[in-house]
């Protein structure tokens, strides 16, 4: 019984990690019908933001260092949310209703973000800032002119190469500075140190409940409550649900659908950043950290029912608990006490590793989707019409 209780808690903690990672994807993929393969990289940006905030607070000494997590969480949300907003405004808004194109585009963005983290340095950051200032600032100035619609094409054709050339020339001159040319992160993994009050665990019987896992469970619950309140109680949440159900009718009623799309994508991306902040306590942070979760998060969303938060919760808990109980050998240990169940014990012993447990969970999900192809709860609204 002690082994079962420990296995259930660890399974729930894994389910909480999957849930907080899948929460943002459930909004973007579920409510907007966008297959965002860059979701893992948005989590990666949140994890790196946590690492940067941690390093800043290290210079403030021990008392303040233990509070850095309360600054890292909103910063991770803002950084990932802003990147998601730029992604939606620059790429996704041209691809609504075309899921295959969004899949390919966001896959390309994920590769760009991975390489960006490996290569980013002071020179690249300054060059990008100059390009954005010249290009987007120039567009904002020209949009105020009455003949903007007539000169729009020519303005972009002139501003884009000109801004790129100036930024590239500036980067070329700055590259000779060894400080500016040194990579900030490179391809190596970095470690995030948990605050002192998150180290150790809560004794319970013959095992401990790690404080980091308990913190992630509480953080997931708060994110769920905040997301539910926003979608169901706020005016913008009402607009999001209206656009999800009927985009054309919402536009006719005066709802700014473009702003709703941007806000929804930014919210989902920000939640991915919070997930990245949480998973940074579970292992090293590297450019590929998001790839470790992207497949599992898509499984959670699909099994739960696209766009359904309750289904996402149930699926995350079921997948997390099943994965841990099989992979840790808990099922094999429970059945080994009964001699008549020896074949079942041998079966679970064969799958009692992390990789083989994933194979078993994949097989169970495939079997489940044969009977419930739409997931636990069938999707509604825009996604159901695709």
DSSP 95-143: -TT-HHHHHHHHHHHHHHHHHHHHH-BHHHHHHHHHHHHHHHHHHHHHT
The DSSP element (H or E) to which 345 belongs, if any, is: helix 342-350
- The pLDDT, as a whole number, for residue 79 is 93
**Residue-level pLDDT at 49:** 92
- Which of 68-72, 218-222, 316-320, 323-327 has the weakest average pLDDT? 323-327
pLDDT for 247: 78
Q: What are phi and psi of 166, to 5 degrees?
A: -65, -45
Cα 252 from Cα 259, distance rounded (Å): 15
Q: What is the pLDDT of residue 196?
A: 83
The closest alpha carbon to 195, from 75, 53, 78, belongs to 53
Q: Which of 176-190, 223-237, 322-336, 355-369 has the lowest mean pLDDT?
A: 322-336
- The pLDDT of residue 382 is above 60: no
Tokens of 310: 């309750």
Is the model more confident about 336 or about 29?
Answer: 29
- Residues written for the chain: 386
> Is 87 within 8 Å of 265 (Cβ atoms)?
yes
pLDDT above 70 covers what percent of the chain? 91
Phi, psi of 285 (to 5 degrees): -105, 125
Q: Where are the alpha helices (DSSP H) in 280-341?
A: 291-304, 309-327, 330-335
Is the pLDDT reported for residue 319 higher than 90?
no
pLDDT confidence bin for 295, thresholds 50/70/90: confident
Start-to-end C-alpha separation, the chain: 47
> Hey, which residues does 285 pair with through a beta bridge?
190
Q: Looking at residue 77, what is its pLDDT?
A: 93
Measured in degrees and rounded to the nearest 5, phi and psi for residue 210 equal -60, 135
Is pLDDT at 346 greater than 80 in this prediction? no
**pLDDT of 78 strictly over 90:** yes
Using only the alpha carbons of the chain, give its radius of gyration: 23
Which tokens sit at 218? 């509480």
For 190, phi then psi, to 5°, come to -120, 160
Alpha carbons 326 and 308: distance in angstroms, whole number? 27
Inter-residue contact 190 to 49 (CB < 8 Å):
no
Confidence of residue 332 (pLDDT cuts 50, 70, 90): low
For 48-104, give the secondary structure using H, E and C. Answer: HHHHHHHHHHHCCCHHHHCCHHHHHHHHHHHHHHHHHHHHHHHCHHHCCCCHHHHHH
Band (132; pLDDT cuts 50, 70, 90): confident
Residue-wise pLDDT tens digits, 18-52: 888 888 888 787 667 788 888 889 999 999 999 99
* Interatomic CA distance for residues 352 and 362, integer angstroms: 15
pLDDT in the model for residue 50:
92
Q: What is the pLDDT of residue 338?
A: 64
Q: Please, which pLDDT band fits residue 278 given cuts at 50, 70 and 90?
A: confident
Average pLDDT of the chain is 82
DSSP 315-331: HHHHHHHHHHHHHTTHH
Q: Report the largest interatomic distance among the alpha carbons of the chain, rounded to a whole angstrom.
A: 85
Band (pLDDT 50/70/90 cuts) for residue 333 is: low
For 232, the enclosing helix (H) or strand (E) is: helix 211-233
Do 11 and 324 touch, CB atoms closer than 8 A? yes
Helix H or strand E segment including 369: helix 354-371
CA distance 80 to 176: 31
* DSSP H or E segment with residue 204: strand 201-204
Lowest-confidence pick of 290-294, 312-316, 344-348: 344-348
CA distances from residue 292 to 197, 275, 288, 355, 363 in whole angstroms, order as listed: 27, 13, 7, 12, 19
User: What does the pLDDT read at residue 179?
Assistant: 80
CA-angle at 90, arms to 86 and 91, nearest 5°: 115
The DSSP 8-state label assigned to residue 307 in this structure reads T
> How far apart are the C-alpha atoms of 80 and 268, rounded to whole Å?
9
- Under 8 Å between Cβ of 271 and 293: no
């Amino acid at each position: 019984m002690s082994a079962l209780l420990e296995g259930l808690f660890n399974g729930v903690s894994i389910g909480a990690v999957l849930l907080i990672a899948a929460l943002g994807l459930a909004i973007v993929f579920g409510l907007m019908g966008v297959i965002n393969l860059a979701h893992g990289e948005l989590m990666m940006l949140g994890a790196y933001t946590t690492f940067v905030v941690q390093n800043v607070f290290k210079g403030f000494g021990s008392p303040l260092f233990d509070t850095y997590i309360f600054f890292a969480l909103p910063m991770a949300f803002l950084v990932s949310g802003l990147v998601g907003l730029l992604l939606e405004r620059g790429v996704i808004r041209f691809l609504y209703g075309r899921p295959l194109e969004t899949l390919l585009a966001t896959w390309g963005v994920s590769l760009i973000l991975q390489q960006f983290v490996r290569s980013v340095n002071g020179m690249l950051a300054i060059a990008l800032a100059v390009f954005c200032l010249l290009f987007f600032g120039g567009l904002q100035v020209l949009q105020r002119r009455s003949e903007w619609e007539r000169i729009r094409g020519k303005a972009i054709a002139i501003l884009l190469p000109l801004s790129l050339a100036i930024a590239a020339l500036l980067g070329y001159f700055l590259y000779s500075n060894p400080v500016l040319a040194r990579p900030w992160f490179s391809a190596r993994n970095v470690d995030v140190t948990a605050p002192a009050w998150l180290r150790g665990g809560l004794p319970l019987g013959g095992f401990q409940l790690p404080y980091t896992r308990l913190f992630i469970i509480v953080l997931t619950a708060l994110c769920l409550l905040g997301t539910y309140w926003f979608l169901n109680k706020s005016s913008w949440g009402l607009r999001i649900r209206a656009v999800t159900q009927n985009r054309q009718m919402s536009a006719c009623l005066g709802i700014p659908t473009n702003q709703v799309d941007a806000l929804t994508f930014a919210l989902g991306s920000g939640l991915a950043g919070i997930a990245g902040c949480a998973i940074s306590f579970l292992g090293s942070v590297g450019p590929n950290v998001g790839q470790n979760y992207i497949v599992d998060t898509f499984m959670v969303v699909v099994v739960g029912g696209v766009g359904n938060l309750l289904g996402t919760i149930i699926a995350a808990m079921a997948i997390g608990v099943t994965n841990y109980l099989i992979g840790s050998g808990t099922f094999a240990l429970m059945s080994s006490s009964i001699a008549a169940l020896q074949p079942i014990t041998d079966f679970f012993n064969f799958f009692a590793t992390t990789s083989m447990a994933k194979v078993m969970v994949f097989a169970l999900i495939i079997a489940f989707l044969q009977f419930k192809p739409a997931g636990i709860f069938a999707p509604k609204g825009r996604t159901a019409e695709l």
